[in-house]
Amino acid sequence: MQVKRTLPSIPHLYRNMRRWTEIFAVLSKYGLADWLSRLNIEFVKNQLRSPDGDALARLTTSERIRLALSDLGPTFIKFGQLLSTRPDLVGVELASELAKLQAAVPADSFEKIKQIIESEQARPLEEIFLSFNPEPLASASIGQVHLAKLADGRDVIVKVRHAGIETSVATDLDILTGLAQMAERTEEFRPYHPKALVAEMARTMPRELDFRLELRSQTQFAKKFEQSKVVQVPEVFPEFSSEKMLTMELMQGYKLTDMTLPGGMAANLNSQSLEGGDGKIDFSEVARNGANLYLQMIFDDGLYHADPHPGNIMIMSDGRIGLLDYGMVGRISEQLREDIEAMLVAIVNSDVVLLVALVKRVGSCPMDLNEGELSAEVADFVAHFSMQSMSSFDMSAALNEFVSIVRKFHITLPGEAAMLIKVLIQLEGTGRLLDPQFSLMGIMKPFHRKLLIRRLSPARQARKVRRLYMQMEQLAESLPQTIGSILEQMKRGKFDVHLDHRRLGPSVNRLVLGMMTSALFLGSSLMLSREVPPLLFVNSSWMGIRNLSLIGISGCIASVFLGVRLYLAIRHSGNLDE
């Protein structure tokens, strides 16, 4: 499906008017609740309620934003989930709240699902599946899931895309684009880069709507872990999959979200083990195996399952970890991987200078970055967390505080780095669900030694030299042509230098105000000396003044007032002597 990705300049209010009306109604409702929350009138706060019956005015702002996005439907929920991966932009509190967003979309009728499957497979449903349960197991924002049985008797899960979802997504993306354009013009929302966020969503949403991409990712992970004794990936069936449907193996295990396990094996996940097919399964060992698995995917492979929340993780009867849902896969470049490895080494070694340099290198820093204050904040951060032992290190708290520092100084992290931070926080939370004593940093201790050895390995140094040589070779090849092009433009008189003036607005305003104040004072003085009517008759001969021009004296007073105001403004900015 092709989604419109441009940011059109024509007014969006004239398109999709019905949907715009719905959106403004929801935003007005939650905006009014935000206003009511500031009043001290208790009975008024109970007037607006959420679908669950909660008084909106008594909820936090983050909770109201989550509920508003949930009311607006699948596309806005996906937008909220995207924002939850960017705590460096929206803050840790709002990102944590948005991570709770789950879409409870009404399921399509069996007739529609049957029509989609038969259209995709070009044959009747009865020829594809031996049996097909018409009642869905679940219905999410993109599609719904059904149980089925193949002709050979194997039980499978069939995920089918909702009918018409591509049209509603295209409409909502168009509206989000319009909202982003308006938000970009306001000082309050500009730091969140709304246009860039919507553009990123317009790029990723078509990938989520195309189940062939999820099929490809799941196949890649299944092949990689085919012989693994730690993880199990559901087998997929390409012959029964397409853009709108995905068929995969039904795995028999225990989801972490199912607090009461079947068969009376354990009362809940607070137990430390359960009886599996091969004996007892130790939850703490499962947590360690899962953490090691993710660290291997991140730091060795650069490709990882990017949604490790409890609903996507199962414990198999043999103690292996079952990973579900490959719609969100993270990739991390070798350069960023090296920078993150260096950050971990800097934290362990309490190297503040190196850590600040890496933060500036990885993130996009504002022009007016206060490096001294940033260094002081990072020093406090390192001093606090470097004192914690590896076994009790709170990785989630450390990452959240790091993100708070980054956001405080308006440093924007690349999307892949923000995604990785979210995954590590989720991973530690899931590990502690299995083992309350779980520490991700303790699991990373062996990786720390491995990272140091790998950074100094001759193979890596040789690879970096080879990469540098290729870049220099490319530069040497393109440099003569580039210089020749510049000289040709200069020869033809078409060489232009474009200057981007930053923060000149206040200076220009002060310059104009100073010129206007001077002109007003000079003009008013001339009117006083010429006794321009209307006049105020004075019976005093002090300084030879007898008749005062009312316009002149008013202009002089106004110019003095403006001059004092200008002086105080310059003095307040601290740039009086510069």
Give the Cα-Cα-Cα angle 388, 393, 396 (nearest 5 degrees). Answer: 130
Secondary structure class of 319 (helix, strand, coil): coil
* C-alpha dist (Å) from residue 111 to 108, 115, 133, 167, 243: 8, 6, 12, 20, 19
Q: What is the gyration radius of the CA atoms in the chain, in angstroms? A: 32
CA 187 vs CA 7, 199, 232, 507: distances in Å: 20, 20, 49, 19
Report the amino acid identity of residue 378.
V
Beta strand pairing call for 303-305 and 535-537: unpaired
In sign, the C-alpha dihedral spanning 534, 540, 541, 542 is: negative
Instruction: Please report the pLDDT score of residue 270 as a whole number.
Output: 43
Strand partners, 156: 148, 249
Q: Where are the domains of the chain?
A: 12-103+181-196, 330-459, 507-573
Residues 6 and 165: beta-carbon distance below 8 Å: no
Location of structure tokens 């991966």: 85
Give the separation between CA 287 and CA 383, rounded to whole angstroms: 29
Alpha helices in 349-457 (DSSP H): 352-362, 371-385, 395-408, 415-434, 440-455
pLDDT score at 48: 58
Rounded to whole angstroms, the Cα distance separating 304 from 337 reads 13
**Res 207: pLDDT:** 84
Angle between helix 334-348 and helix 415-434 axes, rounded to 10 deg? 60
Spatial strand order of the sheet with 253-255 comes to: 231-232, 321-323, 313-316, 253-255
The span from the CA of 208 to the CA of 101, in Å, is 17
Main-chain phi, psi angles of 12, to 5 degrees: -75, -20
Check: CB of residue 300 under 8 Å from CB of residue 380.
no
Strand-pairing partners, residue 573, are: none
Q: Could you count the other beta carbons within 10 Å of the beta carbon of residue 235?
A: 16
* 3-class DSSP state of 432: helix
Angle between helices 283-296 and 440-455 (to 10 degrees): 30
Q: State the 10-residue block means of pLDDT for the chain, 578 residues long.
A: 44 62 74 54 52 65 80 81 80 81 78 93 92 90 90 92 87 84 77 81 85 92 90 93 94 72 38 52 85 88 85 85 87 83 77 88 86 90 77 79 88 85 86 84 74 72 81 85 85 74 71 88 86 73 67 88 85 60
Q: Distance between CA 195 and CA 98 in Å, rounded? A: 19
Strands 321-323 vs 231-232: parallel, antiparallel or unpaired: parallel
The number of beta carbons lying within 10 Å of the beta carbon of residue 413 is 22
DSSP 301: I
Beta bridge partners of 138: 145
Q: Amino acid identity, residue 474?
A: Q
Question: Does an H or E element contain 231, and which?
Answer: strand 231-232
Nearest residue to 550 via CA among 575, 524, 568: 524
pTM for this model (two decimals)? 0.69
Q: Which of 150, 316, 109 is nearest to 248 (CA)?
A: 150
